[in-house]
């Protein structure tokens, strides 16, 4: 029974599951991994560290990123994979890229639409960071989501 409880505890930590144990019966409900980003819809001008000329207004993150970034801190674990999605609502110049922790930067994105990528966290730095590429990025970002894979 102790081994079973340990396995259930380990499993529930990995997939965010809830278990009810009754004599002879084990019930589970897998709830999925929680959202790590707060205010990913940019409803308010909070929760994001912004540099350069970026600002939150009108429900999006807007402005120009050259070598500067905007970021949000939350707990990540090195070598773990994270599913990231975001929307480029508008773009007038350059490209944008993203990383989790100090992991490898994603590909450069230079067209509008929803982008999804799986990234590995590294380097002991926490959270998600967006950075400009290709001479910088001018446009607006919305609907940012990061979840443990």
**Backbone dihedral angles phi then psi of residue 75, each to the nearest 5 degrees:** -70, 125
Question: For 122, which DSSP code?
Answer: B
In the predicted model, what is the mean pLDDT of residues 108-131?
Answer: 93
What is the pLDDT, as a whole number, of residue 12?
45
Instruction: Identify whether the C-beta of residue 130 lies closer than 8 Å to the C-beta of residue 96.
Output: yes
| 58 vs 20 pLDDT, higher one | 58
Q: Which is it for strands 69-72 and 49-50: parallel, antiparallel or unpaired?
A: antiparallel
Q: How confident is the model at residue 84 (pLDDT cuts 50, 70, 90)?
A: very high
Instruction: Give me 118's structure tokens.
Output: 């799986």
* Domains in the chain: ranges and CATH: 1-32 (no CATH), 49-148 (2.60.120.260)
What is the pLDDT, as a whole number, of residue 11?
43
In the predicted model, what is the mean pLDDT of residues 123-141?
Answer: 87
Instruction: Identify whether the C-beta of residue 115 lies closer than 8 Å to the C-beta of residue 87.
Output: yes
Q: How far is CA 104 from CA 1, 10, 41, 129, in A?
A: 42, 28, 24, 11
Question: For 45, which DSSP code?
Answer: S
What is the CA 113 to chain-centroid distance, rounded?
Answer: 17
In the predicted model, what is the mean pLDDT of residues 60-87?
Answer: 90
Q: Over the stretch 85-116, which tens digit does the pLDDT of each residue have?
A: 999 999 999 999 999 999 999 999 999 999 99
Evaluate if residue 143 carries a pLDDT over 90: yes
What is the pLDDT, as a whole number, of residue 35?
96
Q: How confident is the model at residue 63 (pLDDT cuts 50, 70, 90)?
A: confident
Give the pTM: 0.77
């Amino acid at each position: 029974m102790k081994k079973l409880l340990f396995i259930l505890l380990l499993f529930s930590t990995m997939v965010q599951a809830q278990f009810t144990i009754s004599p002879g019966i084990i019930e589970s409900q897998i709830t999925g991994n929680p959202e790590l980003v707060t205010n990913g819809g940019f409803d308010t001008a909070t929760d994001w560290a912004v540099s350069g000329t970026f600002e939150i207004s009108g429900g999006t993150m807007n402005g120009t990123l050259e070598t500067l970034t905007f970021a949000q801190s939350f707990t990540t674990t090195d070598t773990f994979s994270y599913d990231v999605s975001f929307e480029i609502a508008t773009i007038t110049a350059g490209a944008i890229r993203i990383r989790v922790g100090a992991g490898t930067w994603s590909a450069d994105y230079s067209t509008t639409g929803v982008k999804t990528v799986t990234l590995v966290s590294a380097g002991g730095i926490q959270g998600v960071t967006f950075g400009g590429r290709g001479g910088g990025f001018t446009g607006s970002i919305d609907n940012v989501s990061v979840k443990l894979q």
